[in-house]
Structure 1
């Protein structure tokens, strides 16, 4: 009875560890790995193994700014099962990254973008054991080249974060409920220019939305959007960025 009580409090109960085949993956990749479970001092009924793909998003309201965990996708790995005392079990899984998963591998002065997997064992009448594994999400080649082209035009990546809300460009829109903003700044003697760039991966295409702001501009913020195939050439990327860079 004492062992069961301790297990319900998380003492001597089952433990979980998620082992990923790769910790660094590109946008849209399929994550693969296994969930390693080790039974505790007593047998326990595992109702589910839940794997969540999470990010942290900024929420702004009248009370100020807060940061909240936001779940982009959820996978239930197995049906319910009984775990014997000290029994070890390995459950393989695969999970495709949500197309709007933020890029985390960015050389920004202030990079606030984080993505992680949270694995939870759902155990009745007990504290659920859980494991958290952070991922490095790399930009696809076309996204990396868009970023590089902006930087070669004299802009510095100063900030990247994830914000609550939706984006809408020409013939495309986001759907996850949060979006990434990558902020670039170009300083001049009399004025400065900022570009806030967001990507939306959509199958074989990459949608891009840019908000352009000049410190001494008279027309307010401007928006430019464009879509590139994932096979876009350097010439196609540079041509798509001309309206953004010249705005």
Structure 2
């Protein structure tokens, strides 16, 4: 009787432990493992077992936690004292998640819901890696001497922004490179910004912007590195063509490939729909995490894309 009373307080009660086969998994792939369940000192009724994928976002000095998904594992059952059970675990990660970076962390929280007692929780960290096509782009940037900044991977209203700085051939001309990525049916699309040092080649405006597309058939690291080198050099050599105002003028007359109509916002809207964290950011805004992200719904309505495609350019 005393043991049963203690078990209701969580002392000597059943417990659960998730053992992942790997603690790293690529976005869109399946992570697997096993649940190890062990009975306590007395027989207990289990209402259910479920597992949550939680995102912890540490950004702009604010820390917020969001449950991204809840996966049912088992319905009601009885576990005897000292009994051991093993249940398989497999979960395919949604492609709309942001990838793990500084300030973006994921945890699986397993809950053993004990009837009339204290639930037992188990937490396991997991690192979500970029999908392979995007990983190849990162490797291509590395071949050109670019390295990710500590703040790379932060969430913006239009997705996850990656920031890199040059250490080799572009070190004297390029301050940093920023991009957003969208995995589409035929390949990877980047919104690329190259920030050059003021005065380089007579350039007064340091922000040059361009959209580029890499078909999956051409996602060889060496080919990507050559294409990125050519693209960045062309932007530096032809700054007038790739200033933000020129980019916006182009989109004000050209329908975007996504078929969302003409105009800049139509183009961006189509792009953002397929971006990492696009759905996530929208959901976070609805859950009042605007302060942590550094933006609000009113700013979104007034033009959240101005940060990337701002019209106020300095003259060359």
Q: Could you tell me the TM-score, scaled by structure 2's length?
A: 0.59
Name structure 2 gaps, 5 residues minimum. 237-316
Q: Counterparts in 2 of 1:137-148, with a 5 A limit?
A: 137-148=128-139
1:67 aligns with 2:49: no
Q: Counterparts in 2 of 1:87-236, with a 5 A limit?
A: 87-104=83-100, 111-160=102-151, 163=154, 166-167=157-158, 179-186=159-166, 193-201=175-183, 205-214=187-196, 216=198, 219=205, 223-234=209-220, 235=223
Distance (Å, rounded) in 1 between the aligned partners of 2:214 and 2:171: 34
Equivalent pair of 2:144/2:229 in contact (CA under 8 Å)? no
Deviation at 1:85, TM superposition (A): 2.1
Deviation at 1:182, TM superposition (A): 2.9
Distance 1:190 1:212, change over 3 A: closer
Distance (Å, rounded) in 2 between the aligned partners of 1:121 and 1:89: 13
Deviation at 1:3, TM superposition (A): 2.6
Deviation at 1:238, TM superposition (A): 5.0
**What is the total number of aligned residue pairs between the two structures?**
227
Name structure 1 gaps, 5 residues minimum. 168-178
Equivalent pair of 1:157/1:185 in contact (CA under 8 Å)? yes
Answer 1 or 2: which has greater strand percent: 1
Of structures 1 and 2, the larger Rg is shown by 2
Q: Could you tell me the TM-score, scaled by structure 1's length?
A: 0.72
Deviation at 1:204, TM superposition (A): 6.9
Distance 1:207 1:192, change over 3 A: closer
Deviation at 1:96, TM superposition (A): 0.2
- Backbone CA RMSD of aligned residues: 3.4
Deviation at 1:239, TM superposition (A): 3.8
Partner of 2:76: 80
